[in-house]
Amino acid sequence: MKIMAFVGSPRKNGNTAKIVNAIGKGAQESGHEFEVYNLAEMNNKGCLACDACQSKKVDFCAIDDKLTILLPKIADADCIILGTPVYMIHVSGHTKNFLDRLRPFLEQHNIPKQLPGKKYITVTCSGAPAAAFTNVTEYLNQLFGYFKMENAGNIIGGGLNEKDGIMGQPEILKQAEDMGRKLR
């Protein structure tokens, strides 16, 4: 199984990245391929609503940036992992720009293509208690459901006020590794 993971936190090795990497560790132990990308390093220019992807002028996207190069790989992947910190009661800006750039995976009239049937996992992290921002996970489930993808799990980390706060919650890291091991 080919797994692509995207971390929407500007902290290279913060809580979100640690949880996503724990999923990847479990997945690799089960023989899966795992690649992780930090969205803050991608110079993602955001969707320009040029409609080149909708009018089939390009295969994926007309924007010349690092994310456009990855869109064909996303189409080829079997599972997408998306991790984001919760900023201002929602996904981070880097994450939102990434989600907007998934528009090439919709045909005209918003019919999903290339993603239906693929698996996805979400990871959200916040300083508040985990239950405070379940709406962010619900939003991500709704969005990936719109693409007709299959939910392979959600991890909601709360009480993560410090950069390495997740190290004080080893049960979440264990849950993440187990989730990665169980991917099929």
State the Cα–Cα distance between residues 24 and 34, nearest whole angstrom.
Answer: 6
Lowest average pLDDT, out of 7-11, 15-19, 106-110, 122-126, goes to 106-110
Q: Mean pLDDT, the chain, as a whole number?
A: 96
What domains can be seen in the chain, in order of their start residue? 2-181 (3.40.50.360)
Are 61 and 52 in contact by the 8 Å Cβ rule? The answer is yes
Q: Write the pLDDT tens digit of every residue in 97-120.
A: 999 999 999 987 889 999 999 999
For β-strands 150-157 and 119-125, DSSP reports them as parallel
pLDDT band at 43 (very low <50, low <70, confident <90, very high): confident
Closest CA relative to residue 150, chosen from 103, 105, 183: 183
Mean pLDDT, residues 166-172: 97
- pLDDT band of residue 94 (cuts 50, 70, 90) is very high
pLDDT at 150 over 90: yes
Taking only the tens place, the pLDDT of each residue in 73-87 is: 999 999 999 999 999
Contacts of 67 (CB under 8 A, 6+ apart): 42, 44, 61, 98, 101
Cα 180 from Cα 7, distance rounded (Å): 16
